[in-house]
Amino acid sequence: MGSINSEEIISILKTEIENYDMVSGEQEVGSVIWVGDGIATIYGIEHAMYGEIVIFENGVRGMVQDIKRDQIGCIILGKDTGIKEGTKVTRTKKKAGVPVGNAYLGRIVNALGAPIDGKGEIPADDYRPIEQEAPGIVDRQSVKQPLETGILAIDSMFPIGMTIDIYEYNGKYSYDPASVRGERLRREEELMDNKPIDPEQLHLIAVRCSNCGASYKAATGYASRCPYCGGYQNV
């Protein structure tokens, strides 16, 4: 039996790797086998993730919502007039999300973050998925105002409620986070109370900002800062 040449082994391995890459690349592209009512059924994509964004050959995007053994179903995020049987579809390997960054401030975009104001493309700093796993119980703040459902099984097993932090500013107390910024806002001195706040006694109600008219929740009997305009008012 003749000896095996190492160069032949390397050549065979390279060929196998190249062929594997070609096969795996083909599996990332599928074809539409049915389309209607904003839904497309795609054959040929075997490794799609639930919620993944796919791109049709005409540039329209879709989101995977149904995964079966030999086909996937996706919602078409746009007009389906240019999509028909046989249209090629490519995986992005990214779940549904939107680009984010300071450059988006003041711009008009659609639901996918694409600009629609005619001012050109927007450079993104990051890409954030729409759906994310909730932080673990250890990483969350403690519940300081529990919400009782009246169902013992739920109230004893699940910590449902609100996390309210108490802040101090120049010897005065508020549950408003603006008080730790070290800056003095208009009317802040006269609105914030000297009495300490007991989280157990806080009663949150819906209020309307006297400055901008926005609605938000605040604790009765204490100074409140509007999260929209930053104005202070007593509740």
Q: What is the pLDDT of residues 21-73, one digit of tens each?
A: 444 444 579 999 999 989 999 998 888 888 899 999 998 999 999 999 889 99
* pLDDT value at residue 224: 73
Which residue range forms the structural domain that includes residue 115? 98-132
* Lowest-confidence pick of 109-113, 165-169, 215-219: 165-169
* pLDDT value at residue 161: 72
The pair of structure tokens assigned to 208 is: 């309307």
| pLDDT confidence band for 162 (50 / 70 / 90) | low
* pLDDT value at residue 158: 75
Secondary structure of the chain in the HEC alphabet?
A: CCCCCHHHHHHHHHHHHHHHHHHHHHHCEEEEEEEECCEEEEECCCCCCCCEEEEECCCCEEEEEEECCCEEEEEEECCCCCCCCCCEEEEEEEECEEEECHHHCCCCECCCCCECCCCCCCCCCEEEECCCCCCCCCCCCCCCEECCCCCHHHHHHCCCEECCCCEEECCEEECCHHHHCCCCCCCHHHHCECCCCCHHHCCEEEEECCCCCCEEEEECCCEEECCCCCCEEEC
What CATH number is associated with residue 78? 2.40.30.20
pTM of this structure: 0.48
* Residue with token string 């999300």: 97
Does residue 21 lie in a domain region?
A: yes
Together in a domain, 22 and 71: yes
Mean of all residue pLDDT scores within the chain: 75
Together in a domain, 88 and 68: yes
Does residue 154 lie in a domain region?
A: no
Together in a domain, 40 and 72: yes
- Model confidence pLDDT, tens digit, residues 174-228: 555 444 444 444 444 444 444 445 555 566 777 788 877 777 777 776 667 777 7
Does residue 41 lie in a domain region?
A: yes
Higher local confidence (pLDDT), 233 or 32: 32
Does residue 228 lie in a domain region?
A: yes
Identify the bridge partners of residue 193 per DSSP, sorted by sequence position: 173
Together in a domain, 62 and 11: yes
Does residue 141 lie in a domain region?
A: no
* pLDDT value at residue 19: 55
Together in a domain, 221 and 175: yes
The answer to whether the CB of 32 falls within 8 A of the CB of 71 is no
Does residue 82 lie in a domain region?
A: yes
Question: For residue 213, with 0-12 CB atoms within 10 Å meaning exposed, 13-18 middle and 19 or more buried, which class applies?
Answer: exposed
Number of domains in the chain: 3
Q: Residue 70: name the closest of 43, 90, 103, 105 by CA.
A: 43
Q: Which of 132, 155, 190 is the last residue of a domain?
A: 132
* pLDDT value at residue 2: 52
Together in a domain, 127 and 195: no
Contact residues for 115 (Cβ-Cβ < 8 A; gap 6+)? 107, 108, 109, 121, 122
Does residue 142 lie in a domain region?
A: no
Does residue 55 lie in a domain region?
A: yes
